[in-house]
Copies of this chain bind each other. A is one copy, B any other.
Amino acid sequence: MTVSITDVARAAGVSASTVSRALRGRPGVSDEVRAQIAAVAAELGYTASRSASSLASGRTYTIGVVAPYIGRWFFGTVLDAAEQILSAAGYDVLLYNLGSPEARKRFFTKLPVRKRVDAVLSLLIPDPEETDALLSLGVPLATTVGGARDGFVVVGIDDRAGAESAVRHLVNLGHRRIGMISGASGPLHWTTPIDRRQAYLDVLADAGIPHDPALEADGGYTVEGGEQAMTELLAGSRPPTAVFAQSDEMAMGALRALRRHRLRVPDDVSVVGFDDHELAEVIGLTTVAQPVAGQGAEAARLLLRRLDEPDAELPGHVQMPIRLVLRETTAPPSPRGPQ
């Protein structure tokens, strides 16, 4: 059988309570006894049962992370970084992958994290009901996606500023027919596509360029969607000479579509993305870099602080820096235009 705390207590000639206090660094144990107990515990290979300890103490030392598709680069990277911080602090990570509607529904109705986690990091945008469910857990909450929400500490970026720098870059290069591939069909309450679009409109207006709805297409934040969207844009009567894709994945899809149409990048069409995907550099994609791993780490750190000192005043909203990374997919428009 596995060794329990009473085994250690017996072997060390003390009571179980003393073992518990000694091993967790609680006061009320003399240094020599503490050392003795530590030695015995190590020799016996004792590890406290988490179930028992969290049942007794109410603390679980576990943090739940809910995410859509962890397979996608963005979420995987955030998760990766968050996990490192959390596990270094002695917390375990319970992962819930809510890609499918069924999984999502199951999670929010059964709420398996109830009484199982000390905090939750959400990488998805909960609708109002789901938000209530999370709040009902009564534990600290954090998110790295979407805008401010009550009860959550959210770490994110300035989507407006990021999109502005991307579009302005195209304008400065001399482009005037600038298309956008967005992700309008995402979940509600997700402000990112809206903010980025607004920045796009603002920059155009600022440059005195009239807005042409035919230059907007929905790419659904996927590679395939980006490819379709670009194809749509190219089918128009006056296709764009430059495109701002709201994510690198959509930008990659756009690049693929352009290649299929035998258009050269950036000679015929410029493309700028958003995210700085790990492969953006490989492809040479000009993009707006955001610290994805940094956001996961920061969110994790904020949760930990909140657990350590529950009533400390913490910022409810943290903005991480962004920057435009110039690579090889943007250039001044060709004098002849595309086609």
Contact = CB atoms under 8 A, between A and B. Distances in A.
Contacts of A70: 70, 76, 79-80, 83
The 4 closest A-B pairs by CB, nearest first: A76-B76, A71-B80, A83-B97, A51-B55
Interface in A85-119: 87-88, 92-97, 99-100, 102-103, 106-107, 110-112, 114-116
Nearest to A113: B92
A157 interface: no
B256 A51 contact: no
A228 interface: no
A114 B256 CA distance: 48
A90 B80 CA distance: 24
Copies of this chain held together in the complex? 2
The size class of the interface chain A forms with chain B is 35 or more
Taking each of A62, A76, A111, which has the highest tally of chain B beta carbons within 10 Å of its own beta carbon?
A76
A51 B115 contact: yes
Interface string A44-55: 000101111011
A2 interface: yes
A167 interface: no
Contacts of A95: 65, 79, 83, 93-95
Contacts of A293: 71
Interface in A153-208: none
Nearest to A292: B71
A214 interface: no
Given A77-B71, A88-B103, A115 B83 contact: no
A235 interface: no
B47 A252 contact: no
